[in-house]
Structure 1
Amino acid sequence: MAEADVKLTTVSTGGAKLGSVIPAEALSKSEGKAAIAGQWTIPGVAEPVDLKVTGSDVTSVQKPFGNEPLMAVIEESEEKFGLHVTMGGFPMKAWLKKEGQQTVLAFSNGGRWSKL
Protein backbone atom coordinates (compact mmCIF):
# COMPACT_ATOMS: atom_id res chain seq x y z
CA MET A 1 0.00 0.00 0.00
CA ALA A 2 1.38 3.40 -0.93
CA GLU A 3 1.56 6.20 1.63
CA ALA A 4 -1.16 8.11 -0.22
CA ASP A 5 -3.53 5.20 0.45
CA VAL A 6 -3.15 5.34 4.25
CA LYS A 7 -6.26 6.56 6.07
CA LEU A 8 -6.57 7.03 9.80
CA THR A 9 -9.33 5.00 11.43
CA THR A 10 -8.62 6.21 14.97
CA VAL A 11 -8.05 9.63 16.49
CA SER A 12 -4.43 10.73 16.74
CA THR A 13 -3.64 12.98 19.70
CA GLY A 14 -0.14 13.75 18.40
CA GLY A 15 0.99 16.77 16.50
CA ALA A 16 0.77 20.33 17.77
CA LYS A 17 -0.22 20.79 21.41
CA LEU A 18 -3.83 21.98 21.44
CA GLY A 19 -3.06 24.76 23.91
CA SER A 20 -0.77 26.34 21.31
CA VAL A 21 -3.42 26.08 18.55
CA ILE A 22 -6.66 27.08 20.31
CA PRO A 23 -7.25 30.86 20.10
CA ALA A 24 -7.94 32.95 23.20
CA GLU A 25 -11.57 33.56 22.13
CA ALA A 26 -12.38 29.83 22.09
CA LEU A 27 -15.05 28.54 24.47
CA SER A 28 -14.03 27.13 27.83
CA LYS A 29 -13.93 23.38 28.20
CA SER A 30 -17.23 23.33 30.15
CA GLU A 31 -18.97 25.61 27.61
CA GLY A 32 -17.66 23.51 24.74
CA LYS A 33 -18.78 20.23 26.27
CA ALA A 34 -22.27 21.69 26.66
CA ALA A 35 -22.35 23.00 23.07
CA ILE A 36 -20.69 20.34 20.90
CA ALA A 37 -23.54 17.82 20.68
CA GLY A 38 -26.26 18.60 18.14
CA GLN A 39 -26.74 19.50 14.48
CA TRP A 40 -24.06 21.33 12.52
CA THR A 41 -24.16 22.81 9.04
CA ILE A 42 -21.17 22.51 6.73
CA PRO A 43 -20.69 25.00 3.87
CA GLY A 44 -21.52 23.32 0.57
CA VAL A 45 -23.18 20.29 2.18
CA ALA A 46 -26.98 20.07 1.91
CA GLU A 47 -27.72 17.98 5.00
CA PRO A 48 -26.57 18.87 8.52
CA VAL A 49 -24.29 16.57 10.49
CA ASP A 50 -25.30 15.35 13.94
CA LEU A 51 -22.52 15.18 16.52
CA LYS A 52 -22.87 13.08 19.66
CA VAL A 53 -20.68 12.88 22.76
CA THR A 54 -19.86 9.79 24.80
CA GLY A 55 -17.46 10.58 27.63
CA SER A 56 -14.56 12.37 25.90
CA ASP A 57 -15.37 10.97 22.45
CA VAL A 58 -17.22 12.96 19.79
CA THR A 59 -18.55 11.24 16.67
CA SER A 60 -20.84 12.11 13.80
CA VAL A 61 -23.96 10.03 13.28
CA GLN A 62 -23.68 10.43 9.51
CA LYS A 63 -20.65 9.32 7.47
CA PRO A 64 -20.24 12.04 4.82
CA PHE A 65 -16.43 12.10 4.90
CA GLY A 66 -15.34 9.36 2.50
CA ASN A 67 -18.03 7.11 4.04
CA GLU A 68 -16.36 7.64 7.43
CA PRO A 69 -17.71 9.46 10.50
CA LEU A 70 -16.02 12.42 12.09
CA MET A 71 -14.15 11.03 15.10
CA ALA A 72 -12.74 13.26 17.82
CA VAL A 73 -11.41 13.22 21.36
CA ILE A 74 -11.88 16.13 23.78
CA GLU A 75 -8.54 17.31 25.19
CA GLU A 76 -9.20 17.22 28.93
CA SER A 77 -5.88 18.81 29.97
CA GLU A 78 -6.63 22.25 28.47
CA GLU A 79 -8.70 25.12 29.93
CA LYS A 80 -10.26 25.84 26.53
CA PHE A 81 -12.40 23.33 24.63
CA GLY A 82 -10.29 21.57 22.04
CA LEU A 83 -10.62 18.45 19.94
CA HIS A 84 -8.20 16.05 18.31
CA VAL A 85 -10.07 15.12 15.12
CA THR A 86 -9.93 12.49 12.40
CA MET A 87 -12.18 13.42 9.49
CA GLY A 88 -12.15 11.71 6.12
CA GLY A 89 -9.06 9.83 7.25
CA PHE A 90 -7.06 12.97 8.03
CA PRO A 91 -5.94 14.32 11.44
CA MET A 92 -6.58 17.90 12.54
CA LYS A 93 -7.45 19.99 15.60
CA ALA A 94 -10.67 21.89 16.31
CA TRP A 95 -12.23 24.27 18.84
CA LEU A 96 -15.50 26.10 19.45
CA LYS A 97 -16.04 29.84 19.48
CA LYS A 98 -18.88 32.35 19.36
CA GLU A 99 -19.33 34.71 16.44
CA GLY A 100 -22.13 36.99 17.55
CA GLN A 101 -24.88 34.61 18.64
CA GLN A 102 -23.60 31.79 16.39
CA THR A 103 -21.53 28.89 17.75
CA VAL A 104 -18.82 27.90 15.28
CA LEU A 105 -16.72 24.73 15.17
CA ALA A 106 -13.40 25.85 13.69
CA PHE A 107 -10.89 23.34 12.32
CA SER A 108 -7.13 23.74 11.99
CA ASN A 109 -7.45 23.13 8.22
CA GLY A 110 -9.63 26.27 7.90
CA GLY A 111 -12.98 24.46 7.86
CA ARG A 112 -15.87 26.05 9.76
CA TRP A 113 -19.19 24.55 10.76
CA SER A 114 -22.15 26.42 12.28
CA LYS A 115 -24.47 25.01 14.92
CA LEU A 116 -28.17 24.86 14.10
Structure 2
Amino acid sequence: MGDTDVKLTTVSKGGAKLGTVIPSEAMSKSDGKAAIVGKWKITGVAEPIDLQVSGSSVTSVQKPFGNEPLMAEIEESEEKFGLHVTMGGFPMKAWLKKEGNETVLAFSNGGRWAKL
Protein backbone atom coordinates (compact mmCIF):
# COMPACT_ATOMS: atom_id res chain seq x y z
CA MET A 1 0.00 0.00 0.00
CA GLY A 2 1.50 3.35 -1.02
CA ASP A 3 1.75 6.42 1.15
CA THR A 4 -1.09 8.08 -0.75
CA ASP A 5 -3.48 5.12 -0.58
CA VAL A 6 -6.45 5.53 1.75
CA LYS A 7 -7.93 2.52 3.53
CA LEU A 8 -10.93 2.93 5.79
CA THR A 9 -10.71 1.16 9.14
CA THR A 10 -14.01 2.49 10.49
CA VAL A 11 -17.52 2.64 9.06
CA SER A 12 -18.21 5.78 7.05
CA LYS A 13 -21.78 7.07 7.17
CA GLY A 14 -21.19 9.65 4.44
CA GLY A 15 -22.49 9.58 0.90
CA ALA A 16 -26.10 9.10 -0.09
CA LYS A 17 -28.75 9.04 2.64
CA LEU A 18 -29.75 5.41 3.17
CA GLY A 19 -33.44 6.24 2.91
CA THR A 20 -32.90 7.27 -0.72
CA VAL A 21 -30.88 4.12 -1.53
CA ILE A 22 -32.85 1.34 0.18
CA PRO A 23 -35.50 -0.08 -2.17
CA SER A 24 -39.12 -0.35 -1.07
CA GLU A 25 -38.93 -4.17 -1.07
CA ALA A 26 -36.15 -4.18 1.57
CA MET A 27 -36.85 -5.83 4.91
CA SER A 28 -38.06 -3.87 7.89
CA LYS A 29 -35.42 -2.91 10.41
CA SER A 30 -36.71 -5.41 13.01
CA ASP A 31 -36.81 -8.31 10.51
CA GLY A 32 -33.40 -7.33 9.14
CA LYS A 33 -31.75 -7.28 12.56
CA ALA A 34 -32.87 -10.87 13.10
CA ALA A 35 -32.01 -12.04 9.57
CA ILE A 36 -28.51 -10.54 9.26
CA VAL A 37 -26.98 -12.89 11.84
CA GLY A 38 -25.63 -16.15 10.42
CA LYS A 39 -23.80 -17.65 7.45
CA TRP A 40 -23.69 -15.91 4.07
CA LYS A 41 -22.55 -17.25 0.70
CA ILE A 42 -20.55 -14.84 -1.46
CA THR A 43 -20.56 -15.62 -5.18
CA GLY A 44 -17.14 -16.92 -6.22
CA VAL A 45 -15.91 -17.47 -2.64
CA ALA A 46 -15.62 -21.06 -1.42
CA GLU A 47 -16.18 -20.54 2.30
CA PRO A 48 -19.23 -18.72 3.70
CA ILE A 49 -18.93 -15.62 5.88
CA ASP A 50 -20.40 -15.49 9.38
CA LEU A 51 -22.02 -12.16 10.32
CA GLN A 52 -22.69 -11.15 13.91
CA VAL A 53 -24.43 -8.17 15.53
CA SER A 54 -23.53 -6.25 18.66
CA GLY A 55 -25.84 -3.31 19.29
CA SER A 56 -25.98 -1.48 15.95
CA SER A 57 -22.65 -2.90 14.70
CA VAL A 58 -22.40 -5.78 12.23
CA THR A 59 -19.07 -7.54 11.67
CA SER A 60 -17.84 -10.67 9.95
CA VAL A 61 -16.07 -13.29 12.02
CA GLN A 62 -13.71 -13.99 9.12
CA LYS A 63 -11.35 -11.40 7.62
CA PRO A 64 -11.33 -12.14 3.88
CA PHE A 65 -11.33 -8.54 2.65
CA GLY A 66 -7.67 -7.53 2.61
CA ASN A 67 -7.27 -9.32 5.96
CA GLU A 68 -10.03 -7.09 7.36
CA PRO A 69 -13.56 -8.01 8.47
CA LEU A 70 -16.72 -6.60 6.98
CA MET A 71 -17.68 -3.72 9.27
CA ALA A 72 -21.13 -2.16 9.18
CA GLU A 73 -23.46 0.05 11.18
CA ILE A 74 -27.25 -0.36 11.14
CA GLU A 75 -29.00 2.91 10.27
CA GLU A 76 -31.40 3.23 13.20
CA SER A 77 -33.22 6.29 11.80
CA GLU A 78 -34.77 4.38 8.87
CA GLU A 79 -37.82 2.07 8.95
CA LYS A 80 -36.17 -0.32 6.48
CA PHE A 81 -33.04 -2.31 7.38
CA GLY A 82 -30.05 -0.51 5.95
CA LEU A 83 -26.33 -0.70 6.58
CA HIS A 84 -23.40 1.65 6.20
CA VAL A 85 -20.60 -0.77 5.22
CA THR A 86 -16.84 -0.75 5.06
CA MET A 87 -15.51 -3.81 3.25
CA GLY A 88 -11.92 -4.20 2.14
CA GLY A 89 -11.37 -0.55 3.04
CA PHE A 90 -14.17 0.70 0.77
CA PRO A 91 -17.44 2.35 1.85
CA MET A 92 -20.83 1.28 0.51
CA LYS A 93 -24.45 0.81 1.57
CA ALA A 94 -26.40 -2.45 1.91
CA TRP A 95 -29.90 -3.77 2.68
CA LEU A 96 -31.69 -7.09 3.09
CA LYS A 97 -34.52 -8.35 0.94
CA LYS A 98 -36.37 -11.56 0.17
CA GLU A 99 -36.15 -13.02 -3.33
CA GLY A 100 -38.52 -15.96 -3.38
CA ASN A 101 -37.46 -18.17 -0.46
CA GLU A 102 -33.97 -16.67 -0.38
CA THR A 103 -32.73 -13.87 1.90
CA VAL A 104 -30.30 -11.62 0.02
CA LEU A 105 -27.86 -9.04 1.34
CA ALA A 106 -27.62 -6.53 -1.51
CA PHE A 107 -24.81 -3.97 -1.73
CA SER A 108 -24.82 -0.59 -3.45
CA ASN A 109 -21.86 -1.73 -5.58
CA GLY A 110 -24.01 -4.53 -7.08
CA GLY A 111 -22.70 -7.33 -4.85
CA ARG A 112 -25.18 -9.91 -3.56
CA TRP A 113 -24.79 -12.46 -0.79
CA ALA A 114 -27.26 -15.28 -0.10
CA LYS A 115 -28.09 -16.46 3.40
CA LEU A 116 -27.36 -20.11 4.03
Gaps of 5+ in 1: none
How far the C-alpha of 1:10 sits from its partner, in A, is 0.1
Q: Deviations over 1:16-71 (max 9, x none)?
A: 00000000000000000010000000000000000000000000000000100000
Residue identity in the other structure for 2:63 = K
Match runs of 1:1-116 below 5 Å? 1-2=3-4, 5-116=5-116
Partner Cα separation in structure 2 for residue 92 and residue 44 of structure 1: 20
How far the C-alpha of 1:113 sits from its partner, in A, is 0.1
**Root mean square deviation of aligned Cα:** 0.4
Counterpart secondary structure, 1:94? strand
Counterpart secondary structure, 1:20? helix
Dislocated runs of 4+, deviation >6 Å: none
Counterpart secondary structure, 2:86? strand
TM-score w.r.t. structure 2 length?
0.98
Counterpart secondary structure, 2:84? strand
Residue identity in the other structure for 2:27 = L
How far the C-alpha of 1:93 sits from its partner, in A, is 0.1
How far the C-alpha of 1:79 sits from its partner, in A, is 0.4
Residue identity in the other structure for 2:92 = M
Residue identity in the other structure for 1:22 = I
Partner Cα separation in structure 1 for residue 28 and residue 53 of structure 2: 17
TM-score w.r.t. structure 1 length?
0.98
Q: How many residues align?
A: 114
Percent of aligned positions that are identical: 83
